[in-house]
Structure 1
Amino acid sequence: MSKKKGDKKAKPGKKKDHAGLSVVDLAPTITHAARSMRTALTRSLGESGLYAGQDGVILALAEEEGMTPGQLALRLGVKAPTMTRTIGRMEAQGFLERRADETDGRLTKVFLTHNGLKTVEQIGRSVSECGEQAARGLSDKEVRTLLKLLKLVEQNLQPAQEEDQDSLDD
């Protein structure tokens, strides 16, 4: 008698059977995984003096120097007042500086300081180490599949992209 796919029973002492999982488990599972990743990354970045979320600001400015606080907030998916407080804190820590725009004095742009630039490499190492820790026990193919699926989940949760997709389907 051969077993069909999905007819597997949990064996005592073996990995937990996940057959009972459903879409209602998706949000809490992703939230817990993201929180665990953020905690591990924060621990890894601790010696640099960076706090949770500040690494994203530095990496965004490393890609594109001289963004306004509003542009940074939009790119990182946070509200403008949150970004303004984060920038103020990071400026006090010596990672960033604000300067008036050269062509429009009404605009303030944010730039990395020398100390901010020095943390880019450390952030990269920490992100890599945390990624390796999170992927422990997964094959390369499973990691690629997980990334593809998480990106799809993220796209599905973006209202503007959802509306754009709906208009493409018409």
Structure 2
Amino acid sequence: MDERQDGRNVKIATLGQIGLQQFAPYLMNRIMGRYNATLRQGLRNHDLTVPQVRALAVLAVGDGMSINELSVYTVIEQSTMSRTLDAMETQGLVRREACQDDSRTRNIYLTDKGREEFNRVWPAMHEAFSEMFTDVDEAEYATFIATLQKILGNIRKHDF
């Protein structure tokens, strides 16, 4: 028998029964993998990595975040984010400033050069985004975003 039981003795379907093409986490990973590959191609002429562009994008919308917040919003582990920010600081794209409330915490800000760089890469990001939603109308997109927000609320582990 392929069915199993969870801790409450409720029968649960196997992945084989659900199928990969009906398993949302698999589809989301495939979509983001393809998006990131397309983005990498679009960034070849900009000397930036996908993690760097994610950081630029998040900071372009909400400048002055802590490394923790930036790690959450960019979906990048804090150790990787710290190394990414080291490189970005060396490139003059970001600056770190001590938080007024807690001198142990550093907030990250875009420099003018960082904002200019983000504005240069935004067309490549937007193109990759647009390609993903070809033939998806506004109502479908709105429903999709609402569903993603609901899922994110279900799994959220951070206050932000």
- TM-score normalised over the length of structure 1: 0.66
Query: Greater strand share, 1 or 2?
Result: 2
Deviations 1:106-139 (A, max 9, x none): 4433222222110222343223211211112323
Q: Which whole-Å CA distance do the structure 1 matches of 2:96 and 2:20 have between them?
A: 47
Q: Which whole-Å CA distance do the structure 2 matches of 1:47 and 1:97 have between them?
A: 24
Gaps of 5+ in 1: 1-19, 162-170
The structure having more radius of gyration, on CA atoms, is: 1
State the partner residue of 2:42: 44
State the partner residue of 1:154: 152
SS at the partner of 1:136?
Answer: coil
How many residue pairs match? The answer is 142
State the partner residue of 1:64: 62
Residue 99 (structure 2) pairs with residue 96 (structure 1)? no
- Equivalent in 121, 126, 129 of residue 127 of structure 2: 129
SS at the partner of 1:42?
Answer: helix
Shift of 1:160: 6.3
Query: Bigger CA drift: 126-135 or 75-84?
Result: 75-84
Gaps of 5+ in 2: 1-17
Instruction: Name the amino acid aligned to 1:142.
Output: E
Q: Which whole-Å CA distance do the structure 1 matches of 2:151 and 2:100 have between them?
A: 40
Please tell me the root mean square deviation across aligned C-alpha atoms, in Å.
2.9
Q: Which whole-Å CA distance do the structure 1 matches of 2:39 and 2:63 have between them?
A: 24
Query: Bigger CA drift: 70-79 or 29-38?
Result: 70-79
Q: Which whole-Å CA distance do the structure 2 matches of 1:23 and 1:43 have between them?
A: 26
- Equivalent in 69, 73, 76 of residue 75 of structure 1: 73
Deviations 1:26-46 (A, max 9, x none): 221111011111111222223
CA 1:118–1:153 in structure 2 vs 1: closer, same or farther (change >3 Å)?
same
Query: Percent of counterpart pairs with the same letter?
Result: 20
- TM-score normalised over the length of structure 2: 0.70
SS at the partner of 2:70?
Answer: helix
State the partner residue of 1:55: 53
SS at the partner of 2:107?
Answer: strand
SS at the partner of 2:50?
Answer: coil
SS at the partner of 2:96?
Answer: strand
Q: Which whole-Å CA distance do the structure 2 matches of 1:152 and 1:42 have between them?
A: 29
CA 1:22–1:148 in structure 2 vs 1: closer, same or farther (change >3 Å)?
farther
